Amino acid sequence: MRRGRARPKARTWVTVGWELGENSVDTTRFEELMRAAEKAKLLTSWDDGRGRDMWYQAWRGPAERALRAACVKAIGTAPSRVRVYIKE
């Protein structure tokens, strides 16, 4: 067992996106979710992509995972890309 100081936890963010191509969707619910997440200081940025290439960048954690689940329900499909970044 290793002993010593614990490593500080790095803050991470995640970029989640949906590339729907010509199968555009109504973005009303997605936009509502993004505005609520912005108000809660969860998001760093987002774009509705005019219903074809929607994405958001948010701080990683339980709140982001709940947001992602709500977006999947609103959009009707799983994200096509999820990238995790570590802020040093």
Q: How many domains does the chain have?
A: 1
* Residue 18 structural domain: 11-87
**5-44: buried (b, 16+ CB within 10 Å) or exposed (e) per residue?**
eeeeeeeebbbbbbebeeeebebeebeebbeebeeeebbe
Tell me if 5 is assigned to some domain: no
Please list the pLDDT of the chain residue by residue as tens digits (88 residues): 556 665 556 679 999 999 888 777 888 999 999 999 999 999 989 998 886 789 999 999 999 999 999 999 998 889 999 999 887 5
How many whole angstroms separate alpha carbon 46 and alpha carbon 40? Answer: 14
- For residue 6, the model assigns a pLDDT of 58
- For residue 16, the model assigns a pLDDT of 96
Please answer whether residues 86 and 8 qualify as being in contact, where contact means their C-beta atoms are separated by less than 8 angstroms: no
Instruction: Give the residue carrying structure tokens 């991470």.
Output: 12
- For residue 41, the model assigns a pLDDT of 94
Tell me if 6 is assigned to some domain: no
Please answer whether residues 20 and 51 qualify as being in contact, where contact means their C-beta atoms are separated by less than 8 angstroms: yes
Tell me if 2 is assigned to some domain: no
The CATH number of whichever domain residue 43 belongs to comes to 3.30.70
